[in-house]
Amino acid sequence: MSFSITTWNINSVRLRMPIVEQFVLKHKPDILCLQETKVPNELFPAAPLRAMGYEHIIIHGQKGYHGVAIASRIPLTEDHRQDYCKVGDARHISAVFERGGRRVRLHNFYVPAGGDEPDRAINPKFGHKLDFIEEMKLLKANGEANTSAILVGDLNIAPLEHDVWSHKQLLKIVSHTPVETEGLLEIMRRGAWLDLMRHHVPENEKLYTWWSYRAKDWEAADRGRRLDHIWSSQDLGPHLQRIEILKEARGWDRPSDHVPVTAHFDF
């Protein structure tokens, strides 16, 4: 049985619903996970998603900031939100679905960006990000009996050398500093998570999901970073068919600076 899941930092779901519809109508993932929705729950645009077959929607939003959502063609149960760092931000949501006789816990994350200065002494946003990462180290891929796990989202860290356009030039830039990259890799190690985006792609191959709005010609410059991730419990690795990064979406009308990333499985 085939199954697909997409993660996408949409950077305001109401503003960019036209490109969400454009993507969904063509690619039709079974589950769509969005981050940075920037809308309170009561104003989330659920109607167009339901019209396209996504009848099961779980949202955790805030006015103007953060926000995560799961829209699914498959029934969802066990809606859960965890308040990382106890500051009340809408940055995590999880649910359970079943596919091919398999029970799967799905986590959708929006990790803090961390501001511009990689020093928590002068930049509280960076300190918040590091604290968030520390709490994520407790999350286990195999934490529930008879349950597989998938973790997706904008984790705002490009952990490997070739997850950025220039490893040397970005070592002191937030999202690729050693304290961040080591922290993210430690989350994976402690939690027994499998980096599905690198499962079939060698670590020495460039892989990006984000291109800055600041670049005049983002495509020609191609100064990207892999900030968006799809992980799973080890048992799902053999079922991964492919990962698709839809780079062309960065050039759509009024785009997000992130593009959709889709994992295809055969359960």
Q: Which residues are annotated as a binding site for Mg(2+)?
A: 9, 36, 154, 156, 257-258
Q: At what angle do helices 124-136 and 178-191 cross, to 10 degrees?
A: 20
Establish whether 65 is a catalytic residue: no
Radius of gyration, CA atoms only, the chain: 17
Establish whether 110 is a catalytic residue: yes
Token pair listed for 26 = 């063509």
Token pair listed for 23 = 């993507």
Q: Give the integer Cα–Cα distance in Å for 186 and 134.
A: 9
On whether the CB atoms of residues 154 and 36 are closer than 8 A, the answer is yes
Single out the residue of 175, 63, 67 nearest to residue 116, CA to CA. 175
Question: Residue 30, Cβ neighbours under 10 Å: how many?
Answer: 19
- What are the strands, taking DSSP E only, across the chain? 2-9, 31-35, 56-60, 68-72, 77-80, 92-99, 102-110, 148-154, 193-195, 210-211, 224-225, 228-233, 240-245, 261-266
SS3 137: coil
Establish whether 258 is a catalytic residue: yes
Q: Which of 30, 154, 163, 228 is catalytic?
A: 154
Q: Which of 54, 84, 110, 208 is catalytic?
A: 110
Q: How far is CA 211 from CA 10, 17, 205, 220, in A?
A: 13, 20, 17, 11
Token pair listed for 151 = 């973790």
Active site residues: 110, 154, 258
